[in-house]
Chain A
Amino acid sequence: MPHPGWAGFSFDGIGTRWEISTPSPLSGAHRRRLLDTVADYDAAWSRFRPDSLIAGAARQPGRYELPAGAAALGPLYETLYRLTGGAMTPLIGGSLEHLGYDAGYSLRPGGPPLAAPPWDEVLDWRGTVLTTRAPVVIDVGAAGKGQLADLLSAVLREGGVGEHLIDASGDLLNAGTAPVDVGLEHPYDPARAIGIVSLGTGALCASAANRRAWGDGLHHVLDGTTGAPVRTVVASWAMAASAMTADALATALFFVDGFALQQEFDCSWLTVYSDGHAEYSADFEGVLFS
């Protein structure tokens, strides 16, 4: 628990483990609302479910109406698509499937990497409506987990539980007033940390190439312009007010300097490269062990 005496509520959702910590145990009604929110998100966005809203876009072009959260995801992805020169894209799903990260977890590449289709050729994303001109596999995995954390936080606030900490398997949203000391997982060894950062109110999200990796340099962070795994950054962390933004920026750090992201986002960042060196913004100064 982040604070002594707090209670935890753990569950599985959108393919990962969640733990929500609160000063006192959550009621059954609170828990049901949280789980319903998770189920709704999964039913809309999962590319692993044939019955999800977004799965239809993989079968045929058309007009797809998504839940309210889509109105925030779209502009975020558009900004990062631009900043990364197309490398970070919600159209990456087909490239992931092609390399074996598919619904059946085949984890076997179907050939050389396949670039994602250019956004303006196949996708028009306005508010909550996605209009596609070709079958496309949409994957909002770079920001979806963070957005769901934000949605769960909103559910708790509306339910009168203002103080809470949401841990989505290493992506954290602290809605409490007390800061939490957080270890930064070593990119090559999950039993170690490379530093400790104090997380005040806000989100801290991580992205790493060491997990969701399936051999021969294949992992889940793909460059949309080539469809191949990114090879120079091995781990990244981003802090922002919302978990959706922090989650997306952690992935964006695999493609662009944190300094470029700071031009457009109110954020802090830390990037570890495959040669073992690290770069970071001012808020991560003194955080790393030396």
Chain B
Amino acid sequence: MNTSLRKSVIVGIAGLSLAGSAAGCAPGQASGPQDTGAASSAAPSAATGGGSYQDGTYSADGNYVSPNGNETVGVELTLAGGAVTGVKITEHPSNPNTRKFQGEFAGGIQSQIVGKQLDEIKVSKVAGSSLTSGGFNQAVEKIKSEAQA
């Protein structure tokens, strides 16, 4: 078996799995527990092809909910001798993210962002947009409470 190929396949699948889990951590949903640790659970399942699978090419579409709605990603796996010998992220023409995702793991691309708690890292400033005007945030809270009433 080609171990370097197999390793790259595992990395690819792990990245894909994280893509689904992190993207599923949308604003308004519970955050934290959802967006960590998925890689470790996904990688072994790809690595432990014990030979009980039929050779061939398998494909499936996966859906996940990003903050901006449902997104679909296609995965095509090729199995030979019980091991994954090829993996392909299928391009969905309507989805520019998937197009970006496919085949662009070269420099300047990280397949998945990883978060660390701010109190665990030493920075005096944060660049982002977490602090917005009181008026805006109050209006959002008001709409939420009205929607619940």
Which residues of the partner chain A approach B58 to less than 8 Å between Cβ atoms? none
Nearest CB in chain B to that of A3: its residue: B124
A54 to B124, CA, bound (A): 36
**Shortest beta-carbon distance from B72 to chain A in Å:** 11
Which residues of the partner chain B approach A280 to less than 8 Å between Cβ atoms? 108, 110
Nearest CB in chain A to that of B105: its residue: A277
Chain B interfacial positions (CB closer than 8 Å to A): 15, 18-19, 22-23, 25-28, 31-32, 35, 66-69, 71, 73, 96-98, 100-101, 104, 107-118, 121-136, 138-140, 143
Contact in complex: A183, B23 (CB < 8 Å): no
- A31 proximal to B (CB < 8 A): no
Contact in complex: B140, A183 (CB < 8 Å): no
Contact in complex: A191, B118 (CB < 8 Å): yes
A12 to B27, CA, bound (A): 25
Which residues of the partner chain B approach A273 to less than 8 Å between Cβ atoms? 97, 100
A188 to B22, CA, bound (A): 9
**B-contact bits for A1-36, CB 8 A (1 contact / 0 none):** 111000000001001110000000000000000000
Contact in complex: B100, A277 (CB < 8 Å): yes
Nearest CB in chain A to that of B69: its residue: A217
Contact in complex: B109, A237 (CB < 8 Å): no
- A205 proximal to B (CB < 8 A): yes
Contact in complex: B127, A278 (CB < 8 Å): no
Within 237-285 of A, Cβ neighbours of B (below 8 Å) are at 237, 272-282, 285
Supposing A207-B129, A278-B109 touch, asked if A191 and B117 sit within 8 A by C-beta, the answer is yes
**B-contact bits for A174-198, CB 8 A (1 contact / 0 none):** 0000001111111111111111110
Question: With contacts defined as CB atoms under 8 Å apart, how many contacts are there between chain A and chain B in the complex?
Answer: 203
Contact in complex: B115, A186 (CB < 8 Å): yes
Contact in complex: B19, A277 (CB < 8 Å): yes
A239 to B110, CA, bound (A): 19
A290 to B123, CA, bound (A): 18
A215 to B146, CA, bound (A): 13
Supposing A185-B129, A192-B116, A290-B114 touch, asked if A2 and B124 sit within 8 A by C-beta, the answer is yes
A–B pairs, 8, beta carbons within 8 Å = A169-B129, A183-B126, A196-B123, A197-B127, A208-B128, A211-B129, A289-B113, A289-B115
- A212 proximal to B (CB < 8 A): yes
Supposing A188-B25, A274-B71, A276-B22 touch, asked if A183 and B127 sit within 8 A by C-beta, the answer is yes
Which one, A169, A180, A187, contacts B132 given CB within 8 A? Answer: A169
Which residues of the partner chain A approach B35 to less than 8 Å between Cβ atoms? 188-189
A272 to B26, CA, bound (A): 14
Which residues of the partner chain B approach A206 to less than 8 Å between Cβ atoms? 127-129
Which residues of the partner chain A approach B126 to less than 8 Å between Cβ atoms? 170, 182-185, 193
Which residues of the partner chain B approach A3 to less than 8 Å between Cβ atoms? 124
> Beyond the given A165-B125, A186-B113, A277-B109, could you list 9 further A-B residue pairs with CB under 8 A, ordered by the A residue number?
A107-B143, A167-B125, A169-B129, A170-B128, A182-B127, A184-B128, A209-B67, A209-B68, A278-B113
